[in-house]
Structure 1
Amino acid sequence: MSNDIRIGSGFDVHAFCEGDHVMLGGVRIAHSAGVDAHSDGDVVLHALCDALFGALALGDIGVHFPPSDMRWKDADSMDFLRHAHQMIQDRGWRLGNCDITIICEQPKISPHLSDIRASIAAGLHTEVDNVSVKATTTEKLGFTGRKEGIAAQAVCLLVRRG
């Protein structure tokens, strides 16, 4: 039996802090808070990178971009995604698809979904139809329900290039 597909999953969370925007999928979204993070704190791209690295069995985003390394202070998470994409290509894989869920009460995500999908697709050099992004709340339960932070989870399918 050949191993022509691989699946990965990822999750990321950041607490809100003082600020005026959040980065989600490479898109700057105005908000009454920022996120407490070493890089730009893009939970969408961090979860997606974890899924991609996981599918390759190469650890998580912290292995590749450790928060203890000052090179990554305030880094653009699209650079992380581009790195993950290059690793996929270098190992003979391509993205089949990815599915991402953003978990928060605020900011409202639906007005930005098209831009987020397009941004991720560009970062992965794939069609927008290969990128699913959706949002949900926790019905005011937990830290996201109390508007203390934001989370994202992602799954991806990698297909062997042939």
Structure 2
Amino acid sequence: MRVASALDVHAFSDEPRPLMLACLEFSPTGGLAGHSDADVVAHAAADALLIASGIGELGTVFGTDRPEWKGASGSALLAEAVRLVGEDGWEINNVSVQVIGHKPRFSQRRMEAQEVMTKILGAPVLLSATTTDHLGALGRVEGIAALATVLLTAK
């Protein structure tokens, strides 16, 4: 068995773009800045999968030096991470991700997001959300973070 955690953080974009979280669109504008769609939930989960398997991490597998991943959706990154982890001989037991930020109100779509991510991962996904009680950059609503933990077992 292997366990890994990963943190992903993105600032809100100055450019109008969709806000994507947990493979769902939360708003047509007010999105996060990034090379891809900046879905911090999907990115943290994919990163933790890659780290636990020993394949690498998000930046080496899907980094800004890889133009084919520019603008990619979090669901595409996550599906590719699942494929790579499976190809490497690992089975995903479960994934847990906590969203950290003050907006949007994630709890209203938490169950929907869990269902979507569970389908992509082929394993149970548990999602939660919290704030920073207005401390730091996330408390000033400058961005959103997500912390993921995964459990893998060898096939």
Fold conserved between structures, TM > 0.5: yes
CA contact (8 A) 1:51 1:155 kept: yes
> Structure 1 residue 87: deviation in Å?
1.7
- What is the TM-score of this pair, normalised by structure 1? 0.90
Deviations 1:98-145 (A, max 9, x none): 11000000111001101111111111123xxx2110000000001110
SS in structure 1 opposite 2:12?
strand
| 4+ long deviations beyond 4 Å | none
Residue in 1 that maps onto 2:2: 6
* 1:98 and 2:95 correspond: yes
RMSD of Structure 2 on Structure 1 (CA):
1.4
Aligned residue among 17, 20, 23 for 2:20: 23
Are 1:85 and 2:82 an aligned pair? yes
By how many angstroms is 1:69 displaced?
A: 2.4
Q: Which runs of 5+ in 2 are unaligned?
A: none
Shift of 1:20: 5.7
- Percent of aligned pairs with the same residue? 35
Consecutive unaligned residues of structure 1, counting only runs of 5 or more, are none
Structure 1 segment 1-162 matched on structure 2, within 5 A: 5-18=1-14, 19=16, 21-30=18-27, 33-126=30-123, 130-161=124-155
Aligned residues: 154
Deviation (angstroms), 1:85: 0.8
Larger radius of gyration: 1
